[in-house]
Amino acid sequence: MFTEILEPYKQEKSNENLAFVIENPKFELLALAWTKIPKKFKTPPPNADLEKLWECVEFDFVDLERATNQPLLWVINMFDLLRRHNLIYPDGTMAPAVVGIMRGRILQKLNMFKGELK
């Protein structure tokens, strides 16, 4: 059920929300931590929308606090920002564009490291 509801959001190609992640690597870390922490999922009600799906996910913000090494209030506020801008999803995934940004940064760093080895 989550997959069907989330599919249109995951296909969205708008890029303006990516500025949050591009300009602040801490947001990348928070989005990545979201994919790794334990979550419990309740069955969504019939005709659930994205907001209803978020209500069906149980997790502990303290797990995100520990994973990011950021203050709890920062984690709560920035998580809400990522959520509202569809950069993370209630199924524990990140927007494909966020994944792309992270992969690009990793490849860039790996290439810099390779250059240092020559």
Residue labelled with tokens 């940064």: 105
DSSP secondary structure code for residue 39 in this structure: -
Share of the chain above pLDDT 70, in %: 92
- Quote the distance between the C-alpha of residue 39 and its chain's center: 14
What residue numbers bound the domain in which 67 lies? 2-117
Q: pLDDT tens, 9-59?
A: 888 766 677 777 777 889 889 999 999 999 999 999 988 999 999 999 999
Domain count, the chain: 1
Distance, CA of 42 to CA of 65 (rounded, Å): 23
Q: Which residues pair with 40 in a beta bridge?
A: 58
